Structure 1
């Protein structure tokens, strides 16, 4: 396949329509403001972007870097936008289900997301999935997306307050970022599939792996540390407001 060819991957032609139909059904009962709808559509658009554009061809046949970009889009970016698109009333209504409460508990959601992230990046699992693109690769992508929804849910649906959200996001950043750094620092290529893939852009397998690792580490620093900073600042401002209120009461 040409490295810059476009494609119709199952994630684009199956997952996106299913999510769109499900969201339309939710909106009939739980209306959402325009910005939430835009976030949800942005999440779907991101899935289309990584599985229809030439990024899919590069990921499936040529470059680890392209595949890792797909992975972070599925595990972090798209799920965050999709969860932001959920109407608050729908999120609140979902809490009546024990399974939803259990799976979106911070001490469950974060370990599940980390387990999926690390397990699928074990070289044997990664190579096997790439060699079975019609089955295992779809399962890998589904795991990333579903656990991505779970990991963002406690923060973006208001289950956690600002302080707890900051701590949770810092934990996610601290525990996930070593994977990218490890890939960047290992002195040899670890994925056999890409070691024997056709070369593009003049990159060796090791260069590709180093760029992929650095890209992953930088992306997680921006996404998770940026989100942590946002909630930490909110927490500090609320804390300062509470101190000012207590001080005002004592000085009356």
Structure 2
């Protein structure tokens, strides 16, 4: 059913969506990644390893979401940048609270609510960044980077396994549950936060280039 939904969405987008080749490439790449994350063997791996789940959530929010934001029509999202920065941060932290995370993995409806809310709040954040001023966009991305790093550090340095659904799965991969959790924290802390830092630096480069052109013109 999920594959059918992805194929239907792709067909609708290609027929009625934006016509630029870049937008089509962004959308098709995002759909391919969604298929990899949600219906491939990698999805099953995330049930065993929390570190794989960290990769899953980062790919969903920091790769798929900005690709979709770039592919969709450039319309301003309601609520503003500060709202979506805070809402996405809260959503990410809530779903990684151990009791809430355990509920998501024990109930299919809650699981898909987790996936949808992470993706949609991230999509709104990236779309809001597109429409914000460059300094505001940089600030929002850096704030998101900081919260990602904080969560990663918490998972890395906590000396106790926090996630009961991953108590046994890591053993088959030669990891203890704590080592798996620490690896997940490192993934969020370094490459995860790094994605937002790279995006912020890209905006900063555009901002400095614009200011330089303005100063040369005066």
TM-score by length of 2: 0.92
User: Cα–Cα, structure 1 residues 111 and 15, in superposed 2: closer, same or farther, change >3 Å?
Assistant: farther
More helix by share: 2
* CA distance in 1 between partners of 2:190 and 2:5 (Å): 28
Match of 1:110 in 2: 85
Q: Runs of 5+ in structure 2 lacking a partner? A: none
* CA distance in 2 between partners of 1:199 and 1:55 (Å): 17
Q: Runs of 5+ in structure 1 lacking a partner? A: 1-9, 247-252
Moved more, 181-190 or 167-176: 167-176
Match of 2:178 in 1: 206
How far the C-alpha of 1:176 sits from its partner, in A, is 2.6
Give 3-state SS (helix, strand or coil) of 2:183's partner: helix
* CA distance in 1 between partners of 2:137 and 2:125 (Å): 11
TM-score by length of 1: 0.80
Match of 1:191 in 2: 163
* CA distance in 2 between partners of 1:160 and 1:23 (Å): 25
Match of 2:109 in 1: 135
How far the C-alpha of 1:57 sits from its partner, in A, is 1.2
Match of 1:41 in 2: 28
Give 3-state SS (helix, strand or coil) of 1:101's partner: coil
Larger Rg: 1
Query: 1:9-61: per-residue Cα shift (whole Å, max 9, x none)?
Result: x6x4265235324423542xxx331121101110111011112322111112x
* CA distance in 2 between partners of 1:195 and 1:15 (Å): 33
How far the C-alpha of 1:228 sits from its partner, in A, is 0.5
- CA RMSD in angstroms, aligned pairs only: 1.8
Pick from 202, 213, 217 the counterpart of residue 241 of structure 1.
Answer: 213
Aligned residues: 218
Q: For 1:48-59, what aligned pairs fall within 5 Å after superposition?
A: 48-59=35-46
**2:9 matched to 1:19?**
yes
